[in-house]
Structure 1
Amino acid sequence: MEIQAPKLAAQPWPVEAIRDDFDSSELAVKYQSLKDPFEESWISLSQRPGYARLVGRDYLYSRYNQSLLAQRVTAFNCVSETALEFAPRSPRQMAGLVAYYSRGGHYFLKTSCNDVGEQIIQVVGDIDDKYQEYTDELVIGRCERVYMRLEQNTHWYQFSYSLDGTSWQTIGEPLNATHLSDEGSNDVFRFTGSFVGLFACDLTGKHIAADFDYFDYQTLD
């Protein structure tokens, strides 16, 4: 059967801006959280205007109470970037940029501090429910701001960092993105797709916050 289609004007989907400066009073609809709805108790755009403030809660491997603001990965080649201000006083306080599939499938570039109080950055993760440290702790001194970037090249993730927003350094080796996919594990129930986003954790119970100035997400050719 053939039916004459109506002559409708094209309605292309609006192109999203690469950068979200968190200047709006509401989060963009592209963002998702883990289990908990967005609430002022753990994420705020008003406590420090122009920033997304994430209050540190449980670790990424926890089943509950994670402070994660993330969006879906929509291309095999893409780059994400953020800048955060965070003042950790314990190795159990951390924040940064995460590539996330599940509690047992994620990579995380974090800034935290070591046992003597020096601020550090490090790439860690959990693949198939096994915690791994992909780099040593890199001491960066007390920094007002840390810039972080994650580039995906087909099935490889590469983290980078900068202390001034201009000079970038890669950290760690490329990481296999296959593990963060529906087919990347022996688990039967894997269906969420991959995410990239911002995360804050405080296992001391003090709930210190990390302030993220922006979040960039750009697909590449």
Structure 2
Amino acid sequence: MIEMINNPVLTGFHPDPSICRVGDDYYIATSTFQWFPGVEIHHSRDLVHWHRLGGVLDNTRLLDMTGVPDSGGVWAPCLSYADGRFYLIYSNVKTYRNYFKDVDNYLTTSEHILGPWEDPIYLNSSGFDPSLFHDDDGKKYVLNQIWDQRDKQRSFAGIALQEYDVKAKALTGVPVNIFKGSEIGSVEGPNLYKIDGMYYLICAEGGTFYEHAVTVARSDKITGPYVISPYHPLLSSAGHPELRLQKCGHGSIVQTKSGEWYLAHLCGRPNGNGDRCMLGRETAIQRLRRTPDDWFKLDNTSGFAEESVPAPDLPAYQGEQEPEKQTFHGKLPVAFKTLRIPLDERWMAFNTERESLILYGKESMESLHTQSLAGIRRDCFNFTAETKIHFRPVNFQQTAGMALYYDTTNYFYLNISWDENRGRILQLLVCDHGEIRMGSDTIALSEEIEAVFMRMDISNDSAEFYWSPDGQEYNRIGEVLDATSLSDDYYDQERHGLRFTGTFITLCCQDTSGQRCPAEFDYLTYHRKGEDNAG
């Protein structure tokens, strides 16, 4: 019986996949944007089952995102392997919403996938989505999208190619614009491969939303000219709202030992919620075939990305399963991310006896610098999440709790704070495009309540919050909230700019008084519900 790859293989916010094989091991690197550690890596040996290794840019020596905007930071990494080393190339985007894009591109290497990674080498800032190509003559080349800030209508100016000098650890020579894209437009996300003496350039086009696509072009010379495939585009879901996998694009390819070809690509699932993909942009895998004239096509009859495709004939690989209940054994579990920076001992500690997490209050939920916040991705449509929090604020500037968080302008936040007239209170805050409103049923907490149990219950497009003084009987607080507002697609692009990330379940603590009021979280449970979460 042929085993099947069930898509998406990486559910929830895992965009811009870069796939590579090293012997029997397969790795996918994905974008993390403002979330730290940067560049998420997953491992597999069968392309079916994937195990999270975590973010590899795990200290500020490798990645400093202090102050980057929402959806800035790490864009579209490229992971490759040559000369006995892993090569990781990535962007750190400082600004991107207006005419200019301040995009610093870096390269780091390591003998092992989990590091240690060498000090990053600055490459250029001429455009985003950098990648590295290793030619069979030993030369290496950096590719990236060229950003032309002079005209927003023609800002995607093509794909630059420039040689990289390994000894000098720097780019050398003059960059060459090798490909200006197809009629789809907005060419980006370049990946270059040499197959049977020909150079194959795989790019993303159409923008990363519903017009997204994968374009293939090839040349017998690395500098071109590149001829677009007659089977263009290789992949797109544009114009087909009936497809479950939407936004298909931004691909990279890998060949198995037995010669089979697969494409890892970005996708999104609106799941009946109009055009809003609440899980963010995810990663799927499609099987490819070579045509008689040596181009690539999807290996199916539909011509579109499918939710289930045949896997290669490889030994089954299970990896480790992430536990439903996350406790804290002196460190954050691998699934957890923080915002922009690592949380050091000034803002985070652990109670090893209770296996709990302590966050010391820092800046507000609007901060682009230092937030005491840690969380995990929403990766399914229906789930419940729960925590138990110990928190004793003494003024209104101290707040802590549990949030369903998209970014600094959109989140739902169940929290404990303090009021001059009522003392310690429990409240539900809703932030919508930066406008905060407080729920009408704020609850005064008696002194006898030592800890508060908090729960969120998410059913596809709706979110409800509950609390309990004892973990037995739960009471709802606030109204049913529209969970689709926590998505890339909720934003008016003209008014608010583009967004590219996904929803997180977070534990957080704020103290703008500067007193570092601590909040202790005993655990975080994340229980997926329903068959639609498979994959």
TM-score tier after normalising by the smaller chain length: over 0.9
In 2, distance between residues paired with 1:125 and 1:36? 25
In 1, distance between residues paired with 2:511 and 2:400? 9
In 2, distance between residues paired with 1:64 and 1:159? 28
Say if 2:397 is the partner of 1:73.
Answer: no
- 1:97 Cα offset (Å): 0.5
- 1:77 Cα offset (Å): 0.4
| Conserved 8 A contact 1:124-1:135 | no
Say if 2:126 is the partner of 1:126.
Answer: no
Larger-Rg structure: 2
In 2, distance between residues paired with 1:105 and 1:40? 28
- 1:28 Cα offset (Å): 1.1
The residue aligned with 1:53 is 358
Whichever residue aligns with residue 68 of structure 1, its letter is L
The residue aligned with 1:148 is 454
| Conserved 8 A contact 2:361-2:510 | yes
Under a length normalisation based on structure 1, what TM-score does the superposition of the two structures give? 0.93
- 1:41 Cα offset (Å): 1.4
Write out per-residue CA displacement over residues 82-101 of structure 1, whole angstroms, 9 at most, x where no aligned residue.
Answer: 00101111111110010100
The residue aligned with 1:203 is 512
The residue aligned with 1:139 is 444
The residue aligned with 2:526 is 217
**Partner residue of 2:368 out of 63, 86, 91:** 63
Write out per-residue CA displacement over residues 86-117 of structure 1, whole angstroms, 9 at most, x where no aligned residue.
Answer: 11111111100101001000110001111135
| Conserved 8 A contact 1:19-1:216 | yes
**Partner residue of 2:320 out of 8, 14, 24:** 14
Whichever residue aligns with residue 333 of structure 2, its letter is A
Higher mean C-alpha deviation, range 5-14 or range 197-206: 5-14
Say if 2:382 is the partner of 1:100.
Answer: no
Whichever residue aligns with residue 525 of structure 2, its letter is D
- 1:25 Cα offset (Å): 2.2
- 1:203 Cα offset (Å): 1.4
**Partner residue of 2:472 out of 166, 180, 185:** 166
- 1:4 Cα offset (Å): 6.8
**Partner residue of 1:190 out of 495, 499, 510:** 499
Unaligned segments of structure 1, at least 5 residues: none
| Conserved 8 A contact 1:89-1:117 | no
- 1:45 Cα offset (Å): 1.7
Whichever residue aligns with residue 370 of structure 2, its letter is N
Under a length normalisation based on structure 2, what TM-score does the superposition of the two structures give? 0.39
CA 1:217–1:96: 2 relative to 1, 3 Å: same
| Conserved 8 A contact 2:330-2:350 | yes
The residue aligned with 2:344 is 39
In 1, distance between residues paired with 2:353 and 2:360? 12
Compute the RMSD of aligned alpha carbons.
Answer: 1.7
What secondary structure sits across from 1:183 in the alignment?
helix
Higher mean C-alpha deviation, range 82-91 or range 8-17: 8-17
- 1:26 Cα offset (Å): 2.2
In 1, distance between residues paired with 2:529 and 2:319? 19
- 1:15 Cα offset (Å): 2.1
**Partner residue of 2:392 out of 62, 66, 87:** 87
In 1, distance between residues paired with 2:461 and 2:421? 37
| Conserved 8 A contact 2:441-2:477 | no
What secondary structure sits across from 1:206 in the alignment?
coil
Higher mean C-alpha deviation, range 175-184 or range 13-22: 13-22
Whichever residue aligns with residue 516 of structure 2, its letter is H
What secondary structure sits across from 1:45 in the alignment?
strand
- Greater than 6 Å deviation, 4+ residue runs: none
Write out per-residue CA displacement over residues 174-216 of structure 1, whole angstroms, 9 at most, x where no aligned residue.
Answer: 1111111111111332111110110101111101100000110
Whichever residue aligns with residue 481 of structure 2, its letter is L
Q: Which has the higher contact order (CA 8 A, sep 6+)?
A: 1
Percentage of pairs with the same residue: 29
Whichever residue aligns with residue 169 of structure 1, its letter is N
Whichever residue aligns with residue 182 of structure 1, its letter is D
The residue aligned with 2:237 is none
CA 1:176–1:79: 2 relative to 1, 3 Å: same
In 2, distance between residues paired with 1:125 and 1:210? 21
In 1, distance between residues paired with 2:347 and 2:314? 44
CA 1:38–1:169: 2 relative to 1, 3 Å: same
Write out per-residue CA displacement over residues 121-162 of structure 1, whole angstroms, 9 at most, x where no aligned residue.
Answer: 000021111111123321121221000001111011100000
- 1:49 Cα offset (Å): 4.7
Higher mean C-alpha deviation, range 79-88 or range 13-22: 13-22
CA 1:64–1:48: 2 relative to 1, 3 Å: farther
Whichever residue aligns with residue 414 of structure 2, its letter is L
